[in-house]
Structure 1
């Protein structure tokens, strides 16, 4: 069980999670008059800054589904939930948007208070104070970055706001806002801890550098279009790659199995928003991810999941044969309502119409180890930054600067090769034999034996079908060379077949994608779609590429063709350019007399 926060920090977060950070006498944070004098007090204050990540408006639930960050990959399947960001039919009075705004500013204010007091006791070790300072600076920058992504330029506070008079502040421009994000994070980078193999819930140099790459790519894209930042994005991503502390988990599925099991995997999962507990004790801070964003389950032995998130046809069709990210991200099964943990039945591929009824699949409660499981919450962390993302950001930045160089293509190939099957690609029947009255047993030599069943017709073997598997999609084995295929039993004889296997070349970026800078960018865009789906990044990728509206309309066209006019069609169709930004919350417009509303939301 991960242990991140003290009782005091828990009380600080839960008691004031919904309060305005601009209250004159806030009850949800620590008084500076008698605090910040010991290492434990600094740690508790820092935990309070981190805990905003677990706020209900951020990674506890909002980013998972209510905020609509899933974009063209998925949609919320609840027609009764209205006036939420994911419906794209909301106003400035929307409580989810308001909650996001005030949660981020609460985090900024907590960071400012800690930064103001971190040197209160100069007798404390300087290195300790600098590590705390670095993390607080980074988190202030990160919360400001989230605001910039969603609202554009916003008021920038660098000191604690302790009175109502301090709430009136002009909006900084988008560039000024991003410049402050960069200043905070760049100042934090030399102060935070070196790479740690113990945990990924606290930021270290890799987390800061990786997020800096993300910030710079956002600055290089729309609407700021500061293309000079591609070089900075390349630099920061390359520092993470060259450090040598990180590597891809050999199994895509295992990334999320480890998250479910509450295991840190710092090599792949560089930074996570922390959740813990099952909500059944006084010190838990459980989240909503796996119970909202995962395969449906009504079996308490497996773990209850009402499954609010369904995929789109565009997402289903984005994968190539052999890509094992598809069967993990898009489950090929249904959990049974009764039976042992993880009991499931496998299903045939969905029709184009039924694709939109399939849940997302990455976050699976059957792998959670904390019991008893809570029906309404889950301890699974949220992956904020993974090494695969860093590799893809690096490739994108290099391509923008120099085109599809060998190094950029190689970074993408690393991500793709990890995702690819090493099993049997195809079995070709060379002789159907004769006299088979039942399906003969199929055997494969060497390697990791695949599991398949023969198909017969008119006494002959006509093909084989592989056994389904929830982790890799089909039990096709793992081989370094093509295995021999033999058939035995079944009352007949003479059937022969040959097998071919997947190779690294099947995974590699095709030559057509590396012909030009534009074609490689399009390929990277699709690769991010496949690799990072349902991780809260897609919407902002599409916005910075300038294709958010057109991508959402493309999904609307597909829904209309595949399904007709379901209730969720209008969510995609109604997206316009004004939805690139949220409206400034009406409450903020009332409190801050200098605030100006975003275009299209006046």
Structure 2
């Protein structure tokens, strides 16, 4: 899939005032809506420009995954001072991390809005490509709003109708209104998108991507029947089957596979992603962030091969491309690194061809299991949990009569480091299944002792992060800060 850096100068900016933009982005080219959207080639490249935002370091390259350092699975590590406040729940609305990915989510929304505004009027398009392109725009807008509402709760909502009116400075929309918009976008995406692609179009979203994100949306929305309906569409479709081996999802040659409902397309030398750099030990070319904690490592059962795929631990022999080196616990603050996101070229140096997973079929299996258990009781999700476990290893004993404890365990080991744990715990806390405040009151420890002291999670304050204060100020009174952060 062709990726371009493209910025449509006339209408891509989301400005909360007439003279200021929430985006700090420099133009890449001289395109405007007056000289773009002329033909099918423009449409294809324009849609690629929406996907391209996923490569930004301050979006999925790093910043989005930093919101998971709140969890009990990892330590922030690295050298970003603002991350310490995120991890310890001492941040405020001026924290840079709160701001980093905000502008890129809205940039994605802006580009999607422009696509939805202009594509219907582009002459001479193949009908299938027009439908696909509109479906992609709907999905990517939904994804950006999904991440915004998960992180901040209520945020401004801007659609293509606002683009047509030139109306951008909006107050916050309710979470209910945002979820309704996300739902509408994903249902439209599912209607327009093809079921799958050939290898030349790997990375484009398809019906399964939309159904999968709908499953997640409905579960967070407590619409369990709907979560079961759309989760079953994914799980029951061979086009989105689990990869043969867990490791296939984290191996360069096989990281584009049917299980990858949505991932970030990179190739070494083109489409660089910071994601690999941040997770790799400094001694081996990385920046040493996001280190797994002992409690996560201990969660893996004996005979679970996902542990070796996911985590580097003391004594492991690691192929770093041009050599095989011994991993030493002293390379990490916690004694461990995530292994699943690292990759090296045969002649040495990091290889950026590994795709970054954003939504996998295994995630949907376990969301479906959760919805069934919460609706129908223990045992209702056994088939889905055991499908994920059998794929990991036939040596893992099957779950029989599994309740939420089985789902919680399976999600923790299957999706370790994939930006799910903190949001999972908050969802379960709101449903009365876990007590997140009690869980986070335990310190994070490493081989040398306490890394992060006991933390105080305040409900409901810490269910959401504050809006970036700079954006609140820029709105001139239209955008109101989240409660408890004023």
Common fold, TM-score beyond 0.5? yes
Instruction: Check the 8 A contact 2:135/2:188 in 1, yes or no.
Output: yes
Q: 1:549 to 1:392 in 2, by over 3 A?
A: closer
Partner residue of 1:44? 45
Specify the alignment match of 1:597 in structure 2.
481
Match of 1:120 in 2: 121
Deviation at 1:244, TM superposition (A): 1.7
1:561-585 deviation digits (Å, cap 9, x = unpaired): x76863x313x51433322211011
Q: 1:381 aligns with which of 332, 341, 355?
A: 355
Separation (CA, whole Å) in 2 of partners of 1:340 and 1:419:
26
Residues 250 and 336 of structure 1, relative CA distance in 2, 3 Å threshold? closer
For residue 554 of structure 1, the aligned residue among 439, 442, 464 is 439
Task: Indicate yes or no: 2:283 matched with 1:298.
Answer: yes
Alpha-carbon deviation of 1:138? 1.2
CA distance in 2 between counterparts of 1:313 and 1:555 reads 15
Give the 3-state SS of the residue equivalent to 1:385 in structure 2. Answer: strand
The within-5 A match list for 1:96-495 is: 96-159=97-160, 166-198=167-199, 199-220=201-222, 229-257=223-251, 260-261=252-253, 263-278=254-269, 284-294=270-280, 296=281, 298-299=283-284, 304-333=285-314, 341-345=322-326, 356-366=334-344, 368=345, 373=349, 378-405=352-379, 408-420=381-393
Moved more, 200-209 or 161-170: 161-170
Post-superposition CA distance 1:112-161 (Å, at most 9, x none): 11111012234323332121111111111111111110111221111276
Q: 1:69 Cα deviation (Å)?
A: 5.0
Matched ranges for 1:1-40 at <5 A = 3-5=1-3, 9-12=4-7, 21-22=14-15, 27=27, 30-40=31-41
Mapped to 1, the partners of 2:384 and 2:119 lie a distance apart of 40
2:414 to 512, 523, 531: 531
- What is the alpha-carbon distance in structure 2 between the residues aligned to residue 308 and residue 527 of structure 1? 24
1:573 aligned residue (441, 444, 455): 455
TM-score scaled by length of structure 1: 0.71
For 2:119 and 2:272, locate their aligned partners in 1 and report how far apart those are by CA, in whole Å: 29
CA RMSD in angstroms, aligned pairs only: 3.3
Q: Does the aligned pair in 1 maintain the 2:56–2:273 contact within 8 Å?
A: no
Q: Secondary structure at the match of 2:262?
A: strand
Aligned in 2, Cα 1:167/1:67: closer, same or farther, shift over 3 Å? Answer: same
Q: Structure 1 residues 559 and 33, CA, compared in 2 at 3 Å: closer, same or farther?
A: closer
Offset at 1:206? 0.6
Structure 1 413/163 Cα, relative in aligned 2: closer, same or farther at 3 Å? closer
Residues 530-587 of structure 1, C-alpha deviation per residue, up to 9 Å, x if partnerless?
1001011111111111179944653552546x76863x313x5143332221101111
Q: CA deviation at 1:196?
A: 2.4
Q: CA deviation at 1:165?
A: 7.7
In 2, distance between residues paired with 1:584 and 1:160? Answer: 24
From the superposition, tell whether residues 82 and 334 of structure 1 become closer, same or farther in structure 2 (CA, over 3 Å). Answer: farther
Structure 1 unaligned regions, length at least 5 = 221-228, 279-283, 423-501, 515-519
Q: Is the 8 A contact 1:247 1:268 kept in 2?
A: yes
Q: What is the alpha-carbon distance in structure 2 between the residues aligned to residue 11 and residue 45 of structure 1? A: 7
Distance 2:265 2:80 in 1: 30
C-alpha distance in 1 between matches for 2:237 and 2:316: 42
TM-score normalised to the size of structure 2?
0.87
Give the Cα separation in 1 of the matches to 2:123 and 2:321. Answer: 57
Q: 1:153 to 1:346 in 2, by over 3 A?
A: closer
Q: Please say which structure displays the higher CA radius of gyration.
A: 1
Question: Aligned partners of 2:131 and 2:203: how far apart in 1?
Answer: 18
Once residues 481 and 323 of structure 2 are traced to their aligned partners in structure 1, the CA distance between those partners, rounded to angstroms, is 49
* Native 8 Å contact 2:68 2:421 kept in 1: no
The gaps in structure 2 that reach 5 residues or longer are none
- The equivalent residue for 1:587 is 470
What SS does structure 2 have at the residue aligned with 1:410? helix
Secondary structure of the residue that 2:120 maps to in structure 1? coil
Deviation at 1:529, TM superposition (A): 0.4
SS in structure 1 opposite 2:358?
strand
Q: CA deviation at 1:70?
A: 6.3
Identify if the C-alpha distance between structure 1 residues 136 and 340 changes in structure 2 by more than 3 Å, giving closer, same or farther. closer
Q: Tell me, what secondary structure is at the counterpart of 1:298?
A: helix
- Indicate how the Cα distance of structure 1 residues 342 and 400 shifts in structure 2: closer, same or farther if over 3 A, else same: farther
Equivalent position SS for 2:173: coil
Q: 2-side partners of 1:103 and 1:386: how far apart? A: 23
Specify the alignment match of 1:509 in structure 2. Answer: 399
